Structure 1
Amino acid sequence: MDRKTYTAELAGLRELRTEITAAEKLVAAAQKELDKLTAQRARRVAGLAGYEGAQAPAIAKASGLSLGDVVRIAPLLDPTPAAVRAAKADDRAAAAVPAPAPVAEPVVEPVAAVAPALTRPAAVLEQPTPAAPPVEAPTEAEHQAVVEQPAPAAPAVPAAPVAPVAVGPRELPALPEGPAGARFEAVTTGLVSKRPNFTQQARSTVFLDAATGELAVRDRVVRLDLGTRTPGEILDAVLATAPGTERIYITAGAPWHDGAERYSTLKDAVAAWLNTPSERWTTAVGSGRDKLAGHFVHQRQPVGRYAPAASPDGPVTEIRSMGEWFDPDGADVVTCRQAFTLLWQALRRHWDDAVLMGSPSQTGRDLWSRTIPTTGKWAGGYPVLSEELRGLLHATGGQGRTELILPPRVPEQLPALVEYDRTFAYAKHLWKSPVGVPRRITAAAFAAMTEAEQVKALMSCSHWNVRVTVPAGWNHVGLLPAPVTGDRAWVYPSEPGATFTTWAGGAEVHLALSNHLGPWKVEILGGLLFEDGKPLDEWGKRLKAAWADLTNLSKLHADERQRQAAYLASRAVRSVLLFGLGGFAQRPRLVSGTTPVGEALPAGVEILGQAGDVVTWQRQAGFSRDPYAHPEWAAYVWSGARAALLDMKYRHGKEVIGHAGALHAKPGTVVYFGTDGIALTERQPWPYRGEPGDYLLKGHLTGPVEHPASQEEYLKLRGLGRAELVATEKGTDL
């Protein structure tokens, strides 16, 4: 080829490039239109599912979809018998993380290895957010997440705000050297999460309004005389009407709060009510070194377990709060019972052997155990980490971020208070989780990695001990948690130059290094690198499908009672996931018990109160040999959720089409973080598609608003903002 031909070919190549670019634009425009029409068709198919006589074959023919596609869009239309459905499992494992570069000779361990900045700082502190296609937004969203119960409260929830840079002296544990450190790269011998080979037995359950005496039992409602509403009188009245009842859910009335004004704390009042003397009933007890009380003392959602006094080893009847599953919000006993029925039906569409247990935590864990794979690497079950490693994760992996940001970082007079809540938030973070025995990464090992290996390690399922420095010129919210003493276990420093040492999940560390406002300085002191796996993915997919079924039903059903019941059932699915995940954290057990006055109390107990001749106490009992203890999963999901409060990507397939989160709001506008939601001083252009993790506008309180001085004041303002938004939307509808 001569020079003339070469030049001519270059010119032709440029023309071809122009034609290809034009064609790509046409294809992109056509694809955008196709996506719009496809989404419109999916919404119409989902809407048709609300008709009781809807048939999947007819809808498939009219829409041009296959029967399988129709069922995927609207699972309520699935004509396949539940017994023959097979859940799809994705057994693909992520690529193994490369080992650290070998070191030929012994090296001196560096104090820390500086992690690489993963993006260049933006030229300005605020970037425009790409707009996503507009989608009609539902009117309901998620409430603020709470700590798993009956486990003790997670350390990340504060009682009151403190100065944001007041990093206290609390020192977090580190990975020890030598033989002791080997226990942090080990599992507990003989303890594996295995798929059960039995089916749970359903319990005979009734629903009682303790305020009116109305009892929903099977398909009828009767009114009972509850006397003074002591546990014994409630048990007598219920079992006389519904013999064989094993579980009583109190939907309204909260009898455990009767006479609460006589006690110094609400917990004392609840303990006294649970232990009210009765000639016919006694506390159901277990076995062990101590005679453990069957009751669980909680301020608002206690559990009482009783057996006949004549036969203490006889059948046990529980008295529980409906609030464990959802806030009844004025629903009558029939609606609550119907919500449980719809919940069971929705779960049975995805688990042939689903059974509703006493609490959402127990139910969630049981359902998860039935998704443990029967083939592949983890067919024999998932090993439980060593007690030392579980203790480290318990001490260093907090739950949700709860923070009230105080002036002068925000105005004394807020122009407005706008609340956004992430819908079914934790469900978005279950697609990947750590599995197997972690590999310890020292500062030297991290420093020896190539930059690509360091980035991969930070993006993998990991937990890092880091020293962090807030960069000069930073004027936004804090990104990483710092440990402090007192009721509030974590704060989020944001003052330029602040330095602190902490532990954080890979998602948060990666965000600190890659956020669009500018990278923070992060020095790696050590860490734990797990294999990327999908132990929660199938469980999450099924729960999300059940939640979507019930959410759609709550909007489309013609009967108002059924709509309300479906909504409450969707909230119960959320509780199953939220508390089921909290159950994996398996914090040290909190054991409660009772001892007659005058007898010696067990060592190390905290006295909860005294009722008559009985003292009720509790104490920490360490970690149990729980085959379903996986704090590494809970810590990883919580870390991802905290990162998403700051920066969440909206995707269409693999394409990022928008962003949301605190870092995409103007500096000085973020007022409050509340586990899965945030409050700001102005509205944001964040799209809402009704998908798990999306930010939904939940409240808007018109200003000027005096800045709340405490969390309690904020919660009052939040309630006013939600009421104002509802009133505004009703006015708009008129």
Structure 2
Amino acid sequence: PVAAPPVAAPPVAAAPATPTAPAAPAAVGPRELPTLPEGPAGARFEAATTGLASKRPNFTQQARSTVFLDAATGDLAVRDRVVRLDLGTRTPGEILDAVLATAPGTERIYITTGAPWHDGAERYSTLKDAVAAWLNTPSERWTTAVGSGRDKLAGHFVHQRQPVGRYAPATAPDSGSTEIRSMGEWFDPDGADVVTCRQAFTLLWQALRRHWDDAVLMGSPSQTGRDLWSRTVPTTGKWAGGYPVLSEELRGLLHATGGQGRTELILPPRVPDRLPALVEYDRTFAYAKHLWKSPVGTPRRITAQAFAAMTEQEQTKALMSCSHWNVRVTVPPGWNHVGLLPAPVTGDRAWIYPSEPGTTFTTWAGGAEVHLALSNHIAPWRIEVLDGLLFEDGKPLDEWGKRLKSAWADLTSLSRAHADERRRTAAYLASRAVRSVLLFGLGGFAQRPRLVSGTTPVGEALPAGVEILGQDETVVTWQRQAGFSRDPYAHPEWAAYVWSGARAALLDMKYRQGKEVIGHAGALHAKPGTVVYFGTDGIALTERQPWPYRGEPGDYLLKGHLTGPVEHPTTQEQYLTLRGLGRAELTHTGADQ
């Protein structure tokens, strides 16, 4: 598309209209976002945290003794054999006793299927309460691990579907710990047995080892991803001493204003009440496409006056660089397509995407999204820059991303070509695990304020500021926010920049051959009124699109096709049900309907 000149200085003349929420039930009202203060307080938003930088580690990770357990059948994959265990009533203590009697020294147990933490869930008001109660089942032989040494975390992690239980022998709590974790952190086993899951982990380690000679699979893909990234920190050049961690004030601003994936259900009358079809496209390994450039160092503040004083060429360059902007946005007259920029609201959704002509709102957005709003091929939006943060363009994630993409490509190829069905399945699951390493590793850089969980005996005073997660006869389980830690790998500017680029690519993604643009895909290249749903790295429409699929990161893959007419879903749950039916239909009929 031909870039339209950025509009910066003059205030919007038209009276602002009330933002129209595409899916109003979850939107309570506008939410005010933080702004950059003036004077000395504002200087903290252009600074780094003293004495904190992301450096290459000077130690080698230690591998943990790991087994794979089907909690439904009791099958345990340990090394090259499978043993059937009696798990009793499947409490944590009984699982630990059974596993360690067969495989002494085990430090990590992955539950592949069976989800014992959901046993008796009907007795609790929420699934989280049920999980917390299961994690804290009393045991004479086991106690909650308190943590020690590098990379060991204390206490349990309460999650509805992927909890982490950390246990130590009650008689010798300092002698070592064992974790019980969900295989779902890495990939959905989808019926794969414990042997296949173990093979997937072996293939994953082998694929990563070809690119990192010290690669170790840690407890979660997030931990693994961040550890692997740390081993790509340059040893020469400008950043050989490590990448500086931004000030706590700036990290807080990015946390509040840098949203993640776009999730939006578009309702009638913007789409038909009865859909002629529901066609799902999913971007393959989407975030891997957006790692080639990222912000480095501390940013330079660009005020409204400074932006207005730039030439058109300088404005475009600033928007196309690694940047984060506070803007006032007006949807242009006659606009009849989807919204382009996120507007903050209260409630669970946090962000909506106004599209009603004349709607005005104030928000923060990455340069990629702001530039797209100004230069899209349909109609330029009115953008008034109020403030901005302009970073130096760098490549802190590029090497990490290239290695992960290569490992993913190797495993994807193996999953299609290997003669043995079990091996093909294991390779496919391993490729999904690489995706998780990148996805959750990137999320780990966002470094949200920490959530700390713990337990307190019933009757004792609870720590200040806690949220109670559950309670049984003996203990109260709680969690609380603990603010930002002095994490040397906290880089929300990287996560925010990649997420912004991925949101823009849902609207307009370019197909390139070398440097030449040879095609486009994304919501703005579909007819108005055909886009039904945005879901982080995929979209659903009412008709097929002529978007080529080359199997490369970022490409749009046809994932589902549900033949209509279909009643328009009114909730995300209804949409997910229809999406499942569409995937099943496409699998049954084949891609060439």
Query: TM-score band, normalised by the shorter chain?
Result: over 0.9
Number of equivalenced pairs: 592
Distance 1:154 1:431, change over 3 A: farther
Pair 1:299–1:167, CA change in 2 (3 A): closer
List aligned pairs for 1:633-644, cutoff 5 A. 633-644=494-505
Q: How many angstroms does 1:331 deviate by?
A: 0.2
Classify 1:341/1:429 alpha carbon distance in 2 versus 1 (closer, same or farther; 3 Å). same
CA 253–158 in structure 1, closer or farther in 2 if over 3 Å, else same: farther
Cα–Cα, structure 1 residues 190 and 132, in superposed 2: closer, same or farther, change >3 Å? Answer: closer
Structure 2 vs 1, CA of residues 272 and 164 (structure 1 numbering), >3 Å: closer, same or farther?
Answer: closer
For the 8 Å contact 2:17–2:358, the answer to whether it is kept is no
Instruction: Note the alpha carbon deviations across 1:278-308, whole angstroms, 9 max, x for none.
Output: 0000011248999996100000000000000
CA-CA distance at 1:313 after TM superposition:
1.7
- Hey, what's the Cα distance between the residues in 1 that align with 2:214 and 2:297? 28
**2:591 equivalent in structure 1:** 732
Change (3 A) 1:192 1:132: closer
**Mapping 1:130-169, distance limit 5 Å:** 162-163=23-24, 168-169=29-30
Cα offset, 1:449, TM superposition: 1.0
**Whole-Å Cα distance in 2 between the matches of residues 385 and 684 of structure 1?**
42
Instruction: Give distance in 2, aligned partners of 1:320 and 1:202.
Output: 16
| Partners of 2:12 and 2:384 within 8 A in 1 | no
Equivalences for 1:685-724 in 2 at 5 Å? 685-724=546-585
CA contact (8 A) 2:65 2:106 kept: yes
4+ residue segments displaced more than 6 Å: 130-138, 150-161, 164-167, 287-292, 731-734
Match of 2:544? 683
How far 1:453 sits from its partner (Å)?
0.8
Judge conservation of contact 2:329–2:384 (CA < 8 Å) in 1.
yes
Q: 1: CA distance between counterparts of 2:487 and 2:4?
A: 45
Q: Write the deviation string for residues 341-375 of structure 1: whole angstroms up to 9, x where unpaired.
A: 00000000000000000000000000000000111
SS of the equivalent of 2:51 reads strand
Residues 572-623 of structure 1: per-residue CA shift (max 9 Å, x gap): 0000000000000000000001000111000000000002210000000000
Taking the aligned partners of 2:16 and 2:412, their CA distance within structure 1 comes to 32
Q: Find the residue that maps to 2:442 and give its secondary structure.
A: helix
Pair 1:215–1:151, CA change in 2 (3 A): farther
Q: 1:151 to 1:553 in 2, by over 3 A?
A: farther
Tell whether 2:474 aligns with 1:613: yes
Aligned mate of 2:336, from 466, 475, 478:
475
Residues 1:288 and 1:133: Cα distance change in structure 2 (over 3 Å):
closer
After TM superposition, give the deviation of residue 168 of structure 1 in Å.
2.4
State the SS of the aligned residue for 2:372.
helix
Shift of 1:318: 0.1
Q: TM-score scaled by structure 2?
A: 0.95
Structure 1 residues 252 and 155: alpha-carbon distance in aligned structure 2, compared to 1, 3 A threshold: farther
Give the whole-Å Cα distance in 2 for the aligned partners of 1:732 and 1:290. 45
Q: Note closer, same or farther for the CA distance 1:290–1:607 as it changes in structure 2 (3 Å cut).
A: farther
User: Once the two structures are aligned, what percentage of the paired residues are identical?
Assistant: 91
User: Per-residue CA shift, 1:387-427, capped at 9, x if unaligned?
Assistant: 00000000000000000000000000000000000000000
Offset of residue 452 of structure 1: 1.0
Indicate if the aligned counterparts of 1:131 and 1:658 stay in contact, CA closer than 8 A: no
Closer, same or farther in 2 for the Cα pair 1:391/1:667, shift >3 Å?
A: same
- Shift in alpha-carbon separation, 1:716–1:406, aligned structure 2, 3 A: same
Q: Are the equivalent residues in 1 in contact too, given 2:288–2:401 (CA < 8 A)?
A: yes
Asked if the contact 2:21/2:354 (under 8 Å) is kept, the reply is: no
For 1:158 and 1:605, locate their aligned partners in 2 and report how far apart those are by CA, in whole Å.
35
Shift of 1:703: 0.2
> Greater strand percent: which structure?
2
Query: Gaps (5+ residues) in structure 1?
Result: 1-129, 139-149
Give 3-state SS (helix, strand or coil) of 2:591's partner: helix
How far off is 1:169 after superposition?
2.5
The alpha-carbon deviation at position 163 of structure 1 amounts to 2.8
- Which residue does the alignment assign to 1:654? 515
- 2:47 corresponds to 1:186: yes
State the distance in 2 between where 1:325 and 1:313 align: 29
State the distance in 2 between where 1:673 and 1:641 align.
Answer: 12
Contact 1:505 1:636 in 2 (8 A): yes
Q: Determine which structure has more spread, i.e. the larger CA radius of gyration.
A: 1
Q: CA 1:166–1:332 in structure 2 vs 1: closer, same or farther (change >3 Å)?
A: closer
Q: CA deviation at 1:136?
A: 45
Superimposed CA distance per residue, residues 293-347 of structure 1 (whole angstroms, 9 cap, x where no aligned partner):
6100000000000000001222100000000000000000000000000000000
Distance of 1:131 and 1:340 partners within structure 2? 47
The alpha-carbon distance between structure 1 residues 227 and 167, as it changes in their structure 2 partners (threshold 3 A), is closer
Inter-partner Cα distance in structure 1 for 2:191 and 2:9: 25
> Contact between 1:464 and 1:505, CA under 8 Å: does it hold in 2?
yes
CA contact (8 A) 1:286 1:294 kept: yes
In 2, Cα distance between equivalents of 1:733 and 1:699: 12
Aligned counterparts of 1:382 and 1:461: Cα–Cα separation in 2: 16
- Tell me, yes or no, if the aligned pair for 1:135 and 1:689 is still in contact at 8 Å: no
Any unmatched runs of 5+ in structure 2? none
* Cα deviation code 1:678-721 (max 9, x no counterpart): 00000000000000000000000000000001000000000000
Distance in 1, Cα, partners of 2:433 & 2:363: 35
Q: Distance in 2 between matches of 1:290 and 1:426?
A: 26
